[in-house]
Structure 1
Amino acid sequence: MQQPLIFDIKRYAINDGPGIRIAIFFKGCPLSCLWCHNPESISLQPQKLYTRTKCILCGECINVCPNHACRLTSDGIVTDPQRCDLTGRCAEVCPTLAMEISGYHKTVPELLQIIEKERHLFDQSGGGVTFSGGEPLLHPDYLREILDRCGNNQIHRTVDTCGFVKQETLLEIAKRTDLFLYDLKLMDTDKHKAYTGVNNELILANLIALAETGANIQIRIPLIQGVNSDQKNLSATATFIAGLAGEKKTISLLPYHATATHKYRKLGQNYLADNLDEPDKTDLQCAIDCFLAHDLPATVGG
């Protein structure tokens, strides 16, 4: 079984399912959303991050690199990607954590041990573990095993998914998942492809199939002014969700914020969403009202 790369483990999470949780973030995503706030989650491979403002130019990374990939410039430390092997020795010796490697392995037993350490918080708050990313369903064998282990230990299991996965994989994972956080971006397939890199036909078909299993599903919508906050898209989204099988789905509206710029800078990438706007109070209220008109409860955040 191939082990996925993990890029973050967030303890005391309160927005990724019920109660106080531990959230596990896997690297690798089939989408490339223009506004992605976790750009380090998209690649399946390890990545180096560098924060110039933290760097004290001590030169330890230069001294320890066996491939001479790091060099000192007027812009700080610059890494030659052709020489860098991403083993992370530079990050290990960096005294200010200006150098970081995003992506590391954990075996299922190792990850389960980390999760179990938070059990007292789960028991007190009704929380559990959330598997997110990236897209956790890109690693079905690993995800299936850790979900089974958590289930055997009576730990609540949430999976956050974009839905762009094989349907048989999604339905197999549904057998061992207590709650899905299912992301919906846009209803128009051409606009969806323009903003995320893929069309939405599989995502919508998978959500229909998942609802038919009786799975517990919470819909999450990143709300972005000028992208998906218009009445046409909101009405189409509400109509689609209202028509899903099973109990009425709850909606979590996630207002877009341009807070990820520094992450792109750390990766040496350009942030391409500078022209996107945050929704204002009117946008949020219009969205809430639209969903309520379809008897769908909607809240901001979560």
Structure 2
Amino acid sequence: MNIPNIVSIQRYSIHDGDGIRTTVFFKGCSLNCWWCHNPESQSFKKEVMYNREKCSSCFACTKVCDCNVADVENSKVNYNRSKCTQCEKCLDYCINNAREVVGKEYSVMELVKEIDKDSMFYESSFGGVTLSGGEVMLQDSDYMVELVKKLNKRGYNIAMDTCGYAPEINYEKVLPYVDTFLYDIKLIDNEKHKKYMGKGNELIFSNLEFINKNGANIYIRIPVIGGVNDSDKDIEEIIDYLKEKISVKQVNLLPYHDIASSKYDRLDLVYPGKDFTVPTKERMEELKDKFIKNGFNNTKIGG
């Protein structure tokens, strides 16, 4: 069994399923969405996030780690990410907390114990546990099956937040224990999907139809990105597909924002979504009305 890396455990979450939830963000994803709000969750490996704005150029880190070199002339630290082994020495010496290591391994029981701390909130709010990512369904399948079995045995409501790009067998294994799938759909147009996500959508729709055929409770989540999939044509294509193929319990329309774009610089990445636009409240209401008029009465903005 391979132990996955976890980015974070978010407590008292109200946006990842019903009620008050504990959301576990696993590290690693096969898609590369241009607007990804959690770029630190794309790689399966631990990574250092380096906030240059916090760095005061004290050069303490350069004395303990070969990855950091003092550029005295320009009063800055040159960090060589390719040499970094995530030894974490620099964290101990950084007085401004300019660095953090993203990714921590939890055994199944260690993770269950963390989740147990919030159990008092689940029953009173009809909440539970949401397993998210990155892509949760790409994590070690033996680990995930053992985890959902233990959570199910405790009576916790389990939601699986997935982009759908994972082997079908992984969905088959967890189906008996998952109460709700929070399933992302971005685009029907396969070429546009390849452009903005880096992969085609055939596997995504195949898995969605598989879990639907096997009686899964499905909430469809659609990130609405201005300039990508907010046109009438794109939205109507999604509506037509869902009407024909999928039994949907809820639709969540998630308006794009660029709040997380600063994370890219901390990972030495360029944010590819700089030309995207935020849909107006009026446009989001229009899209919501389109779904409702087509029979998706339980459609919400956000969530």
Q: With structure 2 as the length reference, what TM-score do the two structures score?
A: 0.94
The answer to whether the 8 A contact 2:223-2:256 is kept is yes
Shift of 1:8: 1.2
Aligned counterparts, 1:260-279, within 5 A: 260-279=260-279
Specify the alignment match of 1:72 in structure 2.
70
1:27 aligns with 2:27: yes
Mapped partners of 2:126, 2:77: distance in 1: 45
Equivalent residue of 1:96, what SS?
coil
Counterpart residue type for residue 270 of structure 2:
N
Equivalent pair of 1:225/1:283 in contact (CA under 8 Å):
no
Runs of 4 or more above 6 Å deviation: none
Q: Which moved more, 1:292-301 or 1:84-93?
A: 84-93
Distance 2:176 2:257 in 1: 34
Residue in 1 aligned with 2:300? 299
- Per-residue deviation at 1:245? 4.6
User: Which digits, 9 at most, give the CA deviation of each residue in 1:159-181, with x for residues without a partner?
Assistant: 10000111121122211111110
- Change beyond 3 A, Cα 1:86–1:171: same
Compute the displacement of 1:263 (Å). Answer: 0.2
The CA distance in 1 between the partners of 2:281 and 2:166, in whole Å, is: 34
Q: Secondary structure at the match of 2:58?
A: coil
Aligned: 1:52 with 2:80: no
The alpha-carbon deviation at position 22 of structure 1 amounts to 1.0
Q: Is the 8 A contact 1:21 1:122 kept in 2?
A: yes
Task: Check 1:71–1:287 CA distance in 2 against 1; reply closer, same or farther (3 A cut).
Answer: same
Please give the alpha-carbon distance, in whole angstroms, between the structure 1 residues aligned to 2:51 and 2:174.
Answer: 37
Aligned in 2, Cα 1:241/1:149: closer, same or farther, shift over 3 Å? same
The equivalent of 2:179 in structure 1 is: 178
**Is the alpha carbon distance of 1:92 and 1:127 closer, same or farther for their aligned partners in structure 2, counting shifts above 3 Å?**
farther
- The answer to whether the Cα contact below 8 Å between 2:57 and 2:75 also exists between their aligned partners in 1 is no
Q: Identify the residue that residue 198 of structure 1 maps to in structure 2.
A: 199
Alpha carbons of 1:245 and 1:186: their partners in 2 closer, same or farther (altered >3 Å)?
closer
Distance 2:206 2:92 in 1: 45
Tell me if structure 1 keeps the 8 A contact 2:19–2:126: yes
The match for 1:289 is 289
Is the 1:23–1:129 contact (alpha carbons within 8 Å) kept by the matching residues of 2? yes
Distance 2:113 2:92 in 1: 24
Q: Take 1:180 and 1:82, find their aligned partners in 2: how far apart are those partners? A: 37
Shift of 1:235: 0.9
Question: Which runs of 5 or more structure 1 residues have no equivalent in the other structure?
Answer: none
Matched, 1:151 2:158: no
d(CA) in 2 for partners of 1:14 and 1:200? 29
The answer to whether the Cα contact below 8 Å between 2:254 and 2:302 also exists between their aligned partners in 1 is yes
Corresponding residue for 2:133? 133
After the TM superposition, which of the residue ranges 90-99 and 125-134 deviates more from structure 2? 90-99
Q: 2:249 — aligned with what?
A: 249
User: In 1, distance between residues paired with 2:94 and 2:120?
Assistant: 34
Q: Percent identity, aligned pairs only?
A: 37
**2:257 alignment partner AA:** H
- RMSD (Å) for aligned C-alpha atoms: 1.5
> Which residue type is aligned with residue 161 of structure 1?
T
What's the offset of the Cα at 1:293? 1.8
Alignment partner, residue 226 of structure 1: 227
Aligned to 2:85: 85
Runs of 5+ consecutive residues of structure 2 not aligned to the other structure: none
Per the alignment, residue 240 of structure 2 pairs with: 239
